[in-house]
């Protein structure tokens, strides 16, 4: 599969590296306003091709996106230390108004995969600007938050994160909802599993994990300026599901026609992802507090969208 990446910064280049080493993309085209940066990142990634799967990795411009199955939008301004994702809204919306039309002019058949923050709102902006059906504009959403949740749970329980089935829902940001009530380890409810192995999920443990998930980005940004490896891997996983028509259940963000009577809003829920993009939304069973948290998260996102006049 040919994959275009608009934005050759740390997130875009990390995604290109993951796509190449995992053998998901046969061709990767990196595009950036800084053409020298795009060329340098493409060449650096290309030097890893002998250690992975065959692929062509090159720099280009939007005219080189023809035939791409997926275009990753990782362009825009980066999050500053202490800045919330929602504070990025106006700055990145302006960037996308200039970019999306160019991408659609050359890759109208591609699925658009949005990585720029605030990702839920930027996904809704992209869907509006592109005119594509909601399922063909996918935000990375809480795929990374879900991975963080599973990793922390796996570490506490002493098991592989791959054996933990738990999701983070709603906004990729401060109002996100950790769905504890339906989380499982293998086929066993999480609380029962934890009790059986002598690693109970006390309130202190839950609070520590909640903070670890919710504040992870801020901690990393404070230490090194930005996050890129985790989301690069998450983007590669989404492309992999599209390429293989997996109908994989992933916590990604698309525009939902209505959430709790608030109208259309993009947010993360478990969704089926395959060759056509998102083909179905799976509404999880939540306890009362989680359901209210999801509604509140949707209301925050909807309020920001209304400010843009979408």
Q: Which residues are catalytic?
A: 172
Instruction: Write down how long the chain is.
Output: 310
CB neighbour list of residue 109: distance below 8 Å, 6 or more residues apart: none
Region of 26 on the Ramachandran plot (φ > 0 left; ψ -120 to 50 alpha; else beta): alpha
Token code pair at residue 125: 């902006």
Helix-helix angle 143-157:203-214, to 10 degrees: 150
Rounded-to-integer distance, Cα 154 and Cα 212, Å: 13
> Which residues lie closer than 8 Å to 228 by C-beta, 6 or more apart?
9, 10, 11, 13, 14
Tokens of 253: 């963000």
Kindly report the CA angle at 74 between 73 and 77, in degrees rounded to 5? 125
Angle at the Cα of 145 from the Cα atoms of 176 and 132, rounded to 5 degrees: 80
Which sign does the torsion angle of CA 34, 39, 42, 47 carry?
A: negative
CA 46 to chain centre: 24
Q: Which residues in 176-256 belong to E strands, given as ranges?
A: 177-178, 184-185, 188-189, 248-256
Alpha carbon distance 266, 255 (integer Å): 4
DSSP for 154-216 reads HHHHTS-GGGEE--EEB-SSTT-EE--TT-EETTEEHHHHHHHTT----HHHHHHHHHHHHTH
């Amino acid at each position: 599969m040919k994959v275009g990446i608009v934005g050759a910064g740390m997130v875009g280049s990390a995604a290109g590296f993951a796509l190449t080493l995992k053998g998901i993309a046969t061709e990767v085209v990196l595009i950036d306003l800084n053409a020298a940066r795009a060329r340098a990142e493409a060449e650096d990634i290309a030097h890893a091709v002998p250690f992975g799967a065959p692929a062509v990795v090159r720099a280009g411009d939007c005219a080189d996106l023809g035939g791409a199955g997926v275009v990753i939008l990782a362009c825009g301004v980066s999050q500053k230390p202490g800045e919330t994702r929602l504070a990025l809204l106006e700055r990145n919306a302006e960037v996308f108004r200039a970019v999306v039309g160019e991408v659609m002019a050359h890759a109208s058949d591609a699925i658009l995969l949005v990585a720029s923050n605030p990702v839920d709102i930027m996904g809704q902006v992209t869907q509006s600007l592109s005119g594509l059906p909601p399922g063909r504009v996918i935000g990375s959403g809480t795929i990374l938050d879900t991975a963080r949740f599973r990793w922390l749970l796996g570490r506490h329980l002493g098991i592989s994160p791959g054996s933990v089935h738990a999701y983070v829902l709603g906004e990729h940001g401060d109002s996100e909802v950790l769905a504890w009530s339906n989380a499982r380890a293998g086929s066993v409810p999480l609380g029962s599993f934890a009790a059986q192995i002598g690693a109970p999920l006390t309130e202190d443990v839950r609070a520590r994990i909640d903070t670890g998930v919710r504040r992870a980005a801020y901690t990393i940004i404070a230490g090194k300026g930005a996050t890129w490896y985790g989301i690069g891997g998450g983007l590669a996983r989404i492309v992999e599901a599209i390429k293989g028509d997996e109908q994989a259940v992933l916590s990604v963000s698309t525009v939902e026609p209505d959430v709790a009577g608030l109208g259309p809003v993009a947010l993360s829920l478990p969704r089926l992802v395959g060759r056509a993009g998102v083909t179905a939304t799976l509404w999880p069973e939540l306890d009362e507090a989680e359901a209210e948290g999801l509604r509140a998260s949707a209301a925050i996102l909807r309020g920001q969208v209304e400010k843009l006049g979408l």
